[in-house]
């Protein structure tokens, strides 16, 4: 485990991070990290929890994140990340929580997110997403929280998502669109 949250770190995340292949938890949130997320982050195949939120990271999410099949939580919110969100993100077969909120993502919400069947919480609010909510998100039967507010989305909420709300066994389903 590597916890360096709120430690005053500056500069970029070194590419050598990929050498820490036995690392299970990486928390670097609330620092002043800049630059792009290195593609070598995808080499952390034993990682279960990645938190890079509230830094000043730029560029797009590297497609290599799709290699991280043990990842349960990925928090990238509060940065300056831009589109595209790689379709490989749909390969993250264990992911339960994904937060991409408060970045600069544009365009359509990627339908590949509908491939992450284990997803329980999805935070995409405070970006610049446009277009309709992809109906593929309705395939996320484990989804309990879907937060899409503060975007420029149009159209109706897809029926499949409305059915998730109606069928929610816990009664704790949250859909935030404002």
First to last CA, the chain: 36
Tens digits of residue pLDDT in 62-100: 999 999 999 999 999 999 999 999 999 999 999 999 999
* Cα→Cα distances 98→49, 77, 80, 92, 159, Å: 10, 9, 16, 10, 22
Residue 36 bridge partners (DSSP): 58
Highest mean pLDDT of the ranges 27-41, 134-148, 149-163: 27-41
Taking the whole predicted model, whether its pTM rises above 0.85 is answered as yes
Backbone angles phi, psi at 81, to 5 degrees: -75, 145
Question: Residue 161: in which H helix or E strand, if any?
Answer: helix 159-167
């Amino acid at each position: 485990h590597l916890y360096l949250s709120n430690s005053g770190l500056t500069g970029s995340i070194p590419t050598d991070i990929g050498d820490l292949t036995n690392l299970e938890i990486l928390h670097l949130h609330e620092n002043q990290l800049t630059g792009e997320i290195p593609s070598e982050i995808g080499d952390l195949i034993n990682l279960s929890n990645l938190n890079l939120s509230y830094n000043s990271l730029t560029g797009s999410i590297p497609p290599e994140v799709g290699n991280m099949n043990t990842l349960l939580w990925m928090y990238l919110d509060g940065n300056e990340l831009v589109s595209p969100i790689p379709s490989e993100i749909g390969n993250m077969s264990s992911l339960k929580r994904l937060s991409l909120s408060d970045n600069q993502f544009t365009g359509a919400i990627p339908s590949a997110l509908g491939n992450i069947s284990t997803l329980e919480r999805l935070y995409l609010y405070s970006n610049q997403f446009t277009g309709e909510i992809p109906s593929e998100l309705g395939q996320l039967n484990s989804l309990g929280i879907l937060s899409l507010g503060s975007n420029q989305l149009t159209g109706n909420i897809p029926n499949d998502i409305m059915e998730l709300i109606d069928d929610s066994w816990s009664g704790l389903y949250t859909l935030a669109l404002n």
